[in-house]
Structure 1
Amino acid sequence: MSLSARTLEPSAASAEFRMDPTLPIAEDRAAADAAVGRFREIAALRGAQAGLEALRTDLLSAPAAAWVACARQLAAQGAAEIAVALLRTAPATLAAQPALRVALGEALWQAGAAGEAEATLRRVLAEDPERHPAALALARQLRNRGRLDAAVAVLEAACGPDAGLAVLLECALFMKQCQREARALALCEDALARGERDARLLALAGNLALALGRFEQARARLLEAIAQGVDFNEWQVPEALARAQRYRDPQHPDFARFEAWRGDPRLGPRARASLLFGLAKAYDDVGDYARAAALLREANALARSVSPWSRESWRAAIAARLAAPAPRVTASVASGCAPVFVVGLPRTGTTLVAELLGRHPHVRNRGELPVLGYVANRLRQSGREEDPAVLREAAELYLAHLRQDDAPARWYVDKDPLNFRYLDSVAALFPQARVVYCRRNRRDTALSIWSQMFGNPEYGFAGDFADIAAVAADCERLMAHWRRTLPLAIHVLDYEHLAAQPQATLDALGAFIGLPPFDLLAAPAPEGAAIASASLWQARQPVHQGSIGRWRHYAPYLPELAAAFPD
């Protein structure tokens, strides 16, 4: 069983505008259905080669769109090699068309010929670097091999001054998914400087500036997007606007804006929930906790309605991890680097810890990589978790996405909090890894989780204190199990200790990881570093104790919090 990256795509749970530009020409899907169906019938009776010959005969007088549609259908049905063979037998007049050459590059990738796929697409782009479908197809392949800088460079070349708005938006969103927010923002700002004023482009620029910590720029772009009539159902602009600053005065004009938007009947449940989370944050800033609590209660009810979560499914998955035997075979990969996994419940300081570690010159902070869970689940599905060759393949796939293609480092941080579910796979793949388990006062943690809008459905538990309590208990239970059973270095870091004694706590953390001495508190964040989590503001402030005991402000208004987390 292959753990190929061909199906690996980043998880992107966001309400942002998206398009599907994968079809460079109109396809005759009905004709393709019939032709591929005939191929299947003949192949079942006389073999794949006979089916291919019949398919080619059926398509000889067909336009390029039919060839592309058939090839894509075949690849989607697991017959990528047949799709490649089909496209290679197209008549010369069709085979020379860029659309067929792009389809060939896609089919080669799906057939496992990554090098030839890249070369095919680069030949198309050598003739026209701004050919968007070829650029996007190549960028996706490069991203899935961990070559994110190369992927972004391809799209930058495709976004010249004549690129349309749809192309700019698609490319900038792709760059954002690649965690290249600074380059995505530069693309947006170039278009804005040329006079483009589309509301979606402004909203995207505002969100990118927010992730980069450029709060004044973010606020300006978000307000302009609102003025241009941005659709709140596609872009969660009000919540982003609320997170672009700390409010000091309840008379700030944003409060009136938020209240007015609440009355908009066009808002769907997700957009309304996002707006309410933003307004609650603003009231929390000014100390009106009663109003914030009421808004959060309403927001979480809406969030649960659009993102259902099963406590039973969660507990079954945790029980399976507890029952699984400890790994008996480990991968042997000469990586030259050590992964550092920062895990725990969300809102326990994982973003802050990763951001501080990322200031070290020998560390790269990769944020929340969507890779470990994919690799771990594919390993389990394969039934070959003790096959050294499969383990090496899995480790190399993960490492490609960890190292990427920027300046190399000795240590890499992956701070997806829920990776605590996969530490047995970490032990099998990377026995040299370091794990930082972040903890925080349970009531503060639960309140902070409950106060956030999470786009990722894996965080569907966030809207209910009882569900948060179940996940918290299972996190503690599973981490205790891993610490007993895994030959893995695990360091426990309490948020309260970090806030009270930051230097001593970070010194101990650095010693655990093996970092050369370095003053993380005094060092600036790496240039262009983005924070995509809800901690985008807090993680950029000096380490402080202001959030400790925050739950007490809400105790009179949220009795269910204390009930779910009794002392």
Structure 2
Amino acid sequence: MSMAAKQLADKATAHLNSGRPKSAFKTARTGMKQFPKETFFANVCGIALAQQNNQRESIPYFRKALQLYPTNIDAQNNLVQALVSIGQADKALALIDKYMSTRKDHDNLLYFKAMAESHSGDHTAAESTLNSLLAEYPKVARAHNLLGAVLFSLGREDQALTAYEKALEIDPNSPDTLTNMALIQARANEMGKALGYVEKALTINPKHYLSLQRYGNLLNESGQTEKAIETFHKLLQIEPQSHDALLELATLSPAAEQPALQPIIDAALRKVPKNTLEHAFISLAKAKSALKLGNHAEADKWFAIGNAEFAAKVPFDQDRTRTELEAICGHFPADHSARVANEALSPAPIFVLGLPRSGTTLTEQVISSHPTVYGAGELPGIERGSRLFLDKNTPWDLPAAQELAHFYRSFLPEMPAETTAFVDKMPGNYKRIGFILSALPNAKIVHLIRDPREVALSMWHTVFSNPGQAYTFDQKTMAQELNDYRRYMNHWKSVFPDRILDLRYQDLVSDIEQVSKILADHCGLDWVPDMAHPERNAGAVRTASANQVRQPVHRKSLAKWKQHEQALTELITNLDPDLWPELGEG
């Protein structure tokens, strides 16, 4: 490299190291023009774009760098990571296999392989790759961190925590690991610890993208909405096309702030390629912003665009869920009494369940406002335990019920000493009422009932990260899931006619005091006035309802679907009138 080229290279590197990727890109582009045979400048252009979360645009520069110097290991690594980040893990894995035969740094390549496998959804393969890597290279902190993320995705939170702790022993100042630890602590209802981890990460790197995103989410979940908005604006300063920040700001910011946000959303829509997940998120941000300003037609248009893009990228297996319905109901005929465990769980479990967006979060807040009731949030134990049983394809009997009870206990968080009952508000547990009442005989079931058109509208307007809720991106599929929900509940009511409290959402928001007394009675609690004021509940809320439950109970969302009836035509048409006879009554 000539002296003039080296001066430009040093300048570009200094910009990168000081957190000025735009300046680095500009300098490196100048270097590419003046010294077209120098691979360094093309690689730096790609790095600068990637640092601005423009991974898709970075790829041609990494390819150019490799065209000039095919064995440039930095450019190879950068290209692999960029491909993974835009959802092209298959191409990344093919390159890794190619590089394995020519490179000696197999620790790096195995790490990238596991990262690609994880991003493609094959977490089991990623775990195997990481175990192989760590067996030979036990001091690779980022591998322990990635293993923690993989184990977390597999539902093995305790093992994930151990992996993160090992990563921090090696590198105690890793913002990535600290931010991942924050998520583990939040799941355990340790919001103070969670905020502490992510605040430490931001002290180390105030512009760390994932840390800022997680911090904003945690602030919102803990009721600090204004600070959350401020944090997402910081994220937007770092990355103007940040789909995470744009969607959260469109959701959280008041109507008065939406006009200033809309040009930023529009610019991002022009910049981000269509038919990508990023474009889907930003389309829904556009829709939510329009909705805040009362422009229903514009909102409906963009909700349709965004959900269609999500549906194309996140498929839903309707056949699998129908097979599961038939299998579950088949295990619980009318005569099931011989297969009920006899050991009561203490503290007593209260299961609040129903369709997503049916009022389960509000109901949990009501019940957990009682001084001896702990709001545990959405616990995965019943879902995972029942799925393990179904995968075995064995009869449901007393030992199976006892095994599920033991498995579920392992997911319970630490609770205050005075706790007499806890609330598990995993909505989808409506599919598993038979498992619950057989394994946990002292369980209380509270079932939220809400007009399916209201529920559907709310789901249509919400982005769910759980792949099991991908049906919400397509109205026909959503209608089929709503129909199956009604089939489940009809079955459970025939099997357990006296064990389920049906609670209408309309009643909950119309007379909160009376309904809170009914809930207290059903759950075996002495009613206290705080139960009629769930907005005062200081517990963290980690669902899409985080903002609504901080407000006094109101009836604003009742019959709101009528304002969007035309936009819900496909959903309404596919609701089975035999399963929903009440919809034809008015």
Fold-level match, TM-score > 0.5? yes
TM-aligned CA distance change 1:289 to 1:230, over 3 Å? closer
Write the mapping of 1:203-352 to structure 2, written as runs, cut at 5 A: 203-229=213-239, 232=242, 236-248=244-256, 252-266=259-273, 269-326=276-333, 327=336, 328-352=338-362
CA RMSD of aligned residues (A): 4.0
Counterpart-to-counterpart distance in 2, 1:163 and 1:454? 31
Could you report, residue by residue, the CA deviation over 1:268-301 in whole angstroms, capped at 9, with x for unpaired residues? 6222112222221221122111111001111111
Partner letter of residue 246 of structure 2? P
Counterpart-to-counterpart distance in 1, 2:141 and 2:342? 42
Partner letter of residue 533 of structure 2? A
Task: Decide whether the 8 Å contact of 2:232 with 2:249 is kept in 1.
Answer: yes
What is the Cα deviation at residue 495 of structure 1? Answer: 0.6
Counterpart-to-counterpart distance in 2, 1:303 and 1:539? 27
Counterpart-to-counterpart distance in 1, 2:391 and 2:262? 50
Counterpart-to-counterpart distance in 2, 1:347 and 1:186? 30
Task: Decide whether the 8 Å contact of 2:161 with 2:184 is kept in 1.
Answer: no
Could you report, residue by residue, the CA deviation over 1:325-347 in whole angstroms, capped at 9, with x for unpaired residues? 33331223343222111111111
Task: Decide whether the 8 Å contact of 1:438 with 1:494 is kept in 2.
Answer: yes
Out of 453, 456, 460, the position equivalent to 2:470 is 460
What is the Cα deviation at residue 446 of structure 1? Answer: 1.4
Task: Decide whether the 8 Å contact of 1:344 with 1:350 is kept in 2.
Answer: yes
Counterpart-to-counterpart distance in 2, 1:411 and 1:429? 17
Counterpart-to-counterpart distance in 1, 2:263 and 2:498? 52
Out of 515, 522, 529, the position equivalent to 1:512 is 522
What is the Cα deviation at residue 525 of structure 1? Answer: 4.9
What is the Cα deviation at residue 498 of structure 1? Answer: 0.8
Deviates more, 1:409-418 or 1:187-196: 187-196
Unaligned runs of 5+ in 1: 1-16, 18-28, 30-64, 88-98, 104-123, 125-129
Task: Decide whether the 8 Å contact of 1:159 with 1:168 is kept in 2.
Answer: no
Query: What is aligned with 2:414?
Result: 405
Unaligned runs of 5+ in 2: 1-84, 86-96, 98-106, 115-123, 576-582
Counterpart-to-counterpart distance in 1, 2:145 and 2:302? 44
Write the mapping of 1:37-116 to structure 2, written as runs, cut at 5 A: none
Q: Percent identity?
A: 24
Counterpart-to-counterpart distance in 1, 2:491 and 2:210? 47
Task: Decide whether the 8 Å contact of 2:341 with 2:438 is kept in 1.
Answer: yes
Partner letter of residue 240 of structure 1? E
Partner letter of residue 285 of structure 1? K
Counterpart-to-counterpart distance in 1, 2:468 and 2:135? 38
TM-aligned CA distance change 1:203 to 1:154, over 3 Å? closer
Counterpart-to-counterpart distance in 2, 1:397 and 1:536? 29
Task: Decide whether the 8 Å contact of 2:352 with 2:423 is kept in 1.
Answer: yes
Number of equivalenced pairs: 456
Out of 484, 488, 497, the position equivalent to 2:494 is 484
Query: What is aligned with 2:508?
Result: 498
Counterpart-to-counterpart distance in 2, 1:146 and 1:363? 24
Give the number of the structure whose residues are more often helix, by fraction: 2
TM-aligned CA distance change 1:162 to 1:268, over 3 Å? farther
Q: Does 2:434 align with 1:433?
A: no
Query: What is aligned with 1:170?
Result: 180
Counterpart-to-counterpart distance in 1, 2:534 and 2:323? 43
Could you report, residue by residue, the CA deviation over 1:328-378 in whole angstroms, capped at 9, with x for unpaired residues? 312233432221111111111111111222222221222222221111122
Pick 1 or 2: higher relative contact order, CA cutoff 8 A, min separation 6. Answer: 1
Counterpart-to-counterpart distance in 1, 2:556 and 2:535? 21
Partner letter of residue 229 of structure 1? E
Task: Decide whether the 8 Å contact of 1:341 with 1:415 is kept in 2.
Answer: yes
TM-aligned CA distance change 1:464 to 1:100, over 3 Å? closer
> What is the TM-score of this pair, normalised by structure 2?
0.68
Could you report, residue by residue, the CA deviation over 1:375-401 in whole angstroms, capped at 9, with x for unpaired residues? 112223345555534432320220221
Q: Does the residue aligned with 1:236 lie in a helix, a strand or coil?
A: helix
Could you report, residue by residue, the CA deviation over 1:225-277 in whole angstroms, capped at 9, with x for unpaired residues? 12112774xx6221112222332465x21111111111113576222112222
What is the Cα deviation at residue 197 of structure 1? Answer: 2.3
Partner letter of residue 410 of structure 1? T
Q: Does 2:549 align with 1:539?
A: yes
Task: Decide whether the 8 Å contact of 1:358 with 1:525 is kept in 2.
Answer: no
Task: Decide whether the 8 Å contact of 1:466 with 1:564 is kept in 2.
Answer: yes
> What is the TM-score of this pair, normalised by structure 1?
0.70
Partner letter of residue 509 of structure 1? L
Could you report, residue by residue, the CA deviation over 1:81-115 in whole angstroms, capped at 9, with x for unpaired residues? xxx9xx9xxxxxxxxxxx77997xxxxxxxxxxxx
TM-aligned CA distance change 1:151 to 1:487, over 3 Å? farther
